[in-house]
Structure 1
Amino acid sequence: TIKARQCAPMVAYRFEDSRSGECAVRHLNGYRGILQVDGYAAYNKLARSDRGNDGITLAGCWSHCRRKFYELHVAGSSEVATATVERMAKLWQVEKTVRGQSPDARVAARQQASAAIVADLFDLWQQTLRRISGKSKLAEAIRYAVSRRAIFERFLADGRIELDSNIVERAIRPQTITRKNSLFAGSDGGGQTWATIATLLQTAKMNNVDPFAWLAVTLQRIANGWPSSELDALMPWNHAA
């Protein structure tokens, strides 16, 4: 059993041969806890109690919500989109003041400042939606937010939840950049190996460890007969700088 040091960051990649919702269900089967998500429909199925996953709490990503409004704001085509982007910016300002603090402290700050901002945003969106074309880009952006209101508001009452999933997005980016190379993994087994290596290297980076130095030392130790009962000592977060 491998145990991460308390608060040690870690990322895990998993190879799948499609974007089918069943891949997410298979990957997270039996998971209990918070799942911060974008708009991928498969996540909604994961939280359904009839699938035995009633222990999953979905939390929305405000960065994903912001993107559609930001595109309209940059194009200068919607005053409502601009107002939305400006009001959302205040949410990230609040988060800067509580980063690294306890969940209780984060909730207190969010209730004091962020809750009113969120309520104003949903009021603005609902009022706007009644008077614009349902086929417009603005209506599409608003429906994305309003239809997910419960999961977008969840961070207000739970200090363990982040405002967005940007930490995960940054961890995914290296794999996204090299996705064309990934097409030549050769087989499902090759893809699984690729995911394992990416998991180890990116986890090392997240723990401020040189991934290649760590990998060289780790492979040498394994080759020299490192005992399987002490694998935990080989993990990146236990690597001596």
Structure 2
Amino acid sequence: DGLPLYRQEAIFARSGVELDRTVMAPWMGKVGFELQPLADYVLERIKQAERIFADETRLPTLAPGTGKTKTAWLWAYARDDNPFGGASPPMVAFRFEDNRGGECVERHLEGYRGILQVDGYAAYNRLAQSAGANEGVIMAACFAHVRRKFYELHVNGSSELATETVTTMARLWQIEDGVRGQAPELRLKHRQENSATIVAELFDMWEKELPRISGKSKLAEAIRYALARRVALERFLADGRIEIDSNIVERAIRPQTITRKNSLFAGSDGGGRAWATIATMLQTAKMNHVDPYAWLKLTLERIAQGWSISKIEDLMPWNFEAQTV
């Protein structure tokens, strides 16, 4: 629910319960330690997917001995095969890092071979498949990020082209609504018949407009952003497994941004790592419509009773309901 320990301490105090945050913080660290093998397993399951999503968000963290915060990051990797009719359960894995460099994603996704759908952040390009290569990652981009840049200009009424772009893009999402959950082949056929011409219209409009406007304008910036990512943006027209946007991982990250706002910062790097581990498991539970508390309680009880690591799949949130019915 996005409640940091200091607020939980105050809630307990109002009920006459003295439970200091300095007592609860080590508990969180212990929970993170016990759940780490499960979180690692989730990431490995994600890396088995044909297509995954990635994103990252800031996590201010207290720097040791300074009394000040530094900027650290939560990297998020999500898998959800439901939009193209896949059978795998949805899941997300978070990783805490003290930087936003490309070496982080290289380490997290070591060995992955498949489609990586992201926003426009350049660090992910270190994994990109080079022309003619047999191995590597195929990059797909996010139309929602493109839309946001034009939408800002649309709402303040500063650009007719931005308004036309937003209106035209809406047709793409309407088409996607009609094919969500269908097999990749059907999605691909529908997109080629309906979406391809719309995408071509958008890029044609942007290319014609760019030379006519100031290169320093926000509109030019939005157009250049889209044109620079054309190949990756158009990949959803050639592969039915790819989504039009990366909203799946953004929805998974959103609860962490709320908790971050309420908490202000993580207390240490160790606290950040525990945060990422616990968030991995609880958010994955939510994605599978499982009560996070019920799952966590049973799982910690099983771990305390010596649950075998060979049966780690049975501890996953997506198997929780079947085990407890």
Which of 33, 48, 63 is residue 144 of structure 2 equivalent to? 63
User: 2:56 maps to what in 1?
Assistant: none
Partner AA of 1:208 in structure 2: H
Q: Of the candidates 295, 308, 318, which is equivalent to residue 237 of structure 1?
A: 318
Equivalent residue of 1:12, what SS? strand
Give CA deviations for 1:200-227 in whole Å, capped at 9, x if unaligned: 0000000000000110011112212222
Q: TM-score when scaled to structure 2?
A: 0.70
Report if aligned partners of 2:213, 2:220 keep a CA contact under 8 Å in 1. Answer: yes
1 CA distance for matches of 2:126 and 2:233? 17
Question: Residue 48 of structure 1: CA displacement?
Answer: 5.3
Give 1:38-53 correspondences, 5 Å limit: 38-47=119-128, 49=130
Deviation at 1:54, TM superposition (A): 4.4
State the 1:39 CA deviation: 1.1
**In the alignment, which residue of structure 2 is the partner of 1:113?**
194
1:185 alignment partner in structure 2: 267
- After superposition, the Cα gap between the structure-2 partners of 1:182 and 1:54, relative to the gap in structure 1 and judged at 3 Å, is farther
Structure 1 residues 32 and 185, CA, compared in 2 at 3 Å: closer, same or farther? farther
Q: Which runs of 5+ in 1 are unaligned?
A: none
Counterpart Cα distance in 1 of 2:113 and 2:129: 12
Cα RMSD (Å) of the superposition?
2.1
Deviation of 1:182 after TM superposition, in Å, equals 6.8
Percent identity over the alignment is 67
TM-score computed with the length of structure 1 as normaliser: 0.93
Structure 2's unaligned 5+ residue stretches are: 1-37, 46-85
Q: Which residue of 1 is the match for residue 27 of structure 2?
A: none
- 1:38 CA drift (Å): 0.7
1:3-26 deviation line (CA, Å, top 9, x unaligned): 869420000000111122322222
The aligned length equals 239
CA distance in 2, matches of 1:6, 1:71: 37
Query: 1:47·1:53 contact (CA, 8 Å) conserved in 2?
Result: no
Amino acid at match of 1:128: E
- Structure with the larger strand share: 2
Give deviations 1:46-99, integer Å, cap 9, x for gaps: 21549x994200001000010010000000010000000000000000000000
| Secondary structure in 2 matching 1:163 | coil
